[in-house]
Amino acid sequence: MYKLQAPPLLFESSRPGRATSYLPASDVPARPLEDLIPAQHLGGEAPPLPELSELDVVRHYTNLSTLNMAIDSNFYPLGSCTMKYNPRRNERLAAFPGLGAQHPYQDESTLQGLLAILYDLQQILAEIGGLDAVSLQPAAGAQGELTALLVAAAFFRDRSEARTKVLIPDSAHGTNPASAQLAGFETVTIKSDARGLVDLNDFKAKLDDQAAVFMITNPNTVGIFDPQVSEIAEMLHARGALLYLDGANMNAILGAVRPGDMGADLMHYNPHKTFSGPHGGGGPGAGPIAVRKDLAPYLPTPLVAKSEDGTYRLDFDRPKTIGRVRSFFGNTGVLFRAYCYIRSQGPEGLKRISEHAVLNANYLMALVRDTLPVPFGETCMHEFVASARGLARERGVRAMDIGKRLIDHNIHAPTVYFPLIVPEALMIEPTETESRETLEKFAEVLISIAKDDPQTLHDSPVSTPISRPDEVKAAKVPILRWTPSEVSSPEK
């Protein structure tokens, strides 16, 4: 298979005297730099920036872009992360000057359109979740978790209850225990049973009067809806504790069931997963939270409120608030995209999205489970977790090998080695936006990879400039700048 060559860096392509434009000589008399810039800010020579023609620069960045996996060009069966297509119309709408060019320091009277949309979104998210109040302020799903737990902590503190524990299933996202620790709680792990659901015996044994919150993802991370959730909620509420719903997998139950109706007291949404906001790249995100009425006084300020005269305002008059968790009132660009998505789909459209997500996942699971067994569930929700344990034992082929080999087939890898309760896990989520043909092609590729020569798989990917970097070293000892004395190599 043809192996791509890593393109040279701009510094390495630089040639003295080349430029992207050649300007006529200035007709303004030259003045010493010292007259324009204070002397203390002048030091040494100008940095040696690369010199290239405009065409060389364009080709450099275009070629770099072709090395990326992207939802526009590749199938992304990335379990839990829900990498689905982002409609372009949402991008255009969010860029309207009346939305994208607003400044948060403007007077509220000049932000009425923006505030109207945010207010409407608050009401919509409350309705979808079956809860009473929403804060749009958190900047990511994980920050939504933390914010909700801080709200819970304030709630119990206000009631003079010193609750110290947060109960978390062993299949939970890693952000759950991290958020609990940051919020000042001790974490207690609840085991999964043989079905991949919450082990009720272990839950009952560890539920005591020190428990503040139980964090559950439902459907859970092995792609199964836990039907015990209402029973769990009743046991929690009998002890005075709260049920938190990690909304990571809301895209499987939109329009079918609401977290509040199954006993949840708090939850967060991931707009980038459920409502098609941009995902990845470390850019701005959003993690709105929804809560029951008795928890609403503790939400971060400001909330968007509607006055009696029909105008909108930012409500800071909330004495019991936990305060801000980020600047201003949320990442509005991401929230706009979610709003556009929800309004364009409507209630029936949202329900149809979940139905198609579940259908696609079950169809794909049926195609591959004879090759990659699925330990939990005869059926699944929006995703399933297959295991390469048999291949690892019989042929020395691990989940990572399969993921790396998929790159040679222009397919992004599934999530591997998570959740931890499945050995050699491959967490696969096709999303509702993929066609039957794409799913069948992916299944065909997976089955062929399982039959590939093990050494070929260990060496994969072979079509990329860099095959298998030392990921631990790259994380611990990153090289963040280039100098001429360094020798560029794939190992670095």
Cα–Cα distance, 173 to 281 (Å, whole number): 20
Q: What is the DSSP string of 313-324?
A: EEE---TT----
Give me the DSSP letters along 139-200: SSHHHHHHHHHHHHHHHHHHTT----EEEEETTS-THHHHHHHHTTPEEEEE-B-TTSSB-H
SS3 206: helix
Gap between the Cα atoms of 233 and 245, Å rounded: 11
Lookup: tokens for 107: 């007077």
Going 279 to 282 to 285 to 290, the CA torsion angle's sign is: positive
* Encoded tokens for 182: 């940051």
Q: Which pLDDT score, from 0 to 100, does residue 3 have?
A: 62
Q: Is the dihedral of CA 440, 444, 445, 449 positive or negative?
A: positive
Angle between helices 141-158 and 175-182 (to 10 degrees): 40
Structural domains of the chain, with CATH: 88-344 (3.40.640.10), 346-474 (3.90.1150.10)
- 254 close to 127: Cβ distance less than 8 angstroms: no
Residue type at 394?
E
CA 194-198-199 angle, to 5 degrees, is: 65
From the list 275, 351, 264, the residue with the least C-alpha distance to 121 is 275
Q: Under a CB-based contact definition with an 8 Å cutoff, are residues 265 and 215 in contact?
A: no
Report the predicted TM-score, pTM, of the whole model to 2 decimal places.
0.90
Tokens 């998570």 -> residue:
418
Q: In what order do the strands lie in the sheet with 266-269?
A: 133-135, 289-291, 266-269, 242-247, 211-217, 165-169, 186-190
Chain-centroid distance, C-alpha 459 = 30
115-to-124, 316, 326, 461 alpha-carbon distances in Å: 14, 14, 18, 48
As a 3-state breakdown, the chain gives helix, strand, coil percent values, each rounded to 5, of 40, 10, 50
Token code pair at residue 45: 């020579």
In 327-480, which ranges are E strands? 384-387, 415-416, 425-428
User: Cα-Cα-Cα-Cα dihedral of 274, 279, 285, 291, to 10°?
Assistant: 20
- Residue found by looking up tokens 């609840």 in the block: 190
| pLDDT for 38 | 83
The answer to whether the beta carbons of residues 144 and 134 sit under 8 Å apart is no
Dist. CA 450–CA 402, nearest whole Å: 8
Residues near 128 by beta carbon (within 8 Å), at least 6 away in sequence: 250, 254, 258, 342, 350
Please name which of 450, 469, 452 lies closest in space to residue 389, comparing C-alpha atoms: 450
Q: Are strands 384-387 and 312-315 parallel, antiparallel or unpaired?
A: unpaired
Please report the pLDDT score of residue 483 as a whole number.
Answer: 75
The separation between CA 363 and the C-alpha centre of its own chain, rounded to angstroms, equals 25
Kindly tell me the sign of the dihedral angle through the C-alpha atoms of 132, 140, 329, 106: negative
Q: For residue 199, give both structure tokens.
A: 């082990």
Residue 450 has a CB neighbour count (10 Å cut-off) of 19
> Quick check: 434 and 359 in contact, CB under 8 A?
no
Cα Rg, the chain, nearest whole Å: 26
For each of the chain's 492 residues, which pLDDT tens digit applies?
A: 556 677 888 998 999 999 888 888 888 888 887 788 887 787 777 778 899 999 999 999 998 888 888 888 999 999 988 888 888 898 898 888 888 888 889 999 999 999 999 999 999 999 999 999 999 999 999 999 999 999 999 999 999 999 999 999 999 988 999 999 999 999 999 999 999 999 999 999 999 999 999 999 999 999 999 999 999 999 999 999 999 999 999 999 999 999 999 999 999 999 988 998 887 666 678 999 999 999 999 999 999 999 999 999 999 999 999 999 998 888 998 999 999 999 999 999 999 999 999 999 999 999 999 999 999 999 999 999 999 999 999 999 999 999 999 999 999 999 999 999 999 999 999 999 999 999 999 999 999 999 999 999 999 999 998 888 888 998 999 888 877 764 444 443
Q: Is 385 helix (H, G, I), strand (E, B) or coil?
A: strand
11/5 Cα distance (integer angstroms): 17
- What tokens were used for 46? 């100008």
Residue type, 370: D
Enter the tokens of residue 195.
């079905």
- Alpha carbon distance 382, 358 (integer Å): 4
What is the predicted pLDDT for the residue at 471?
86
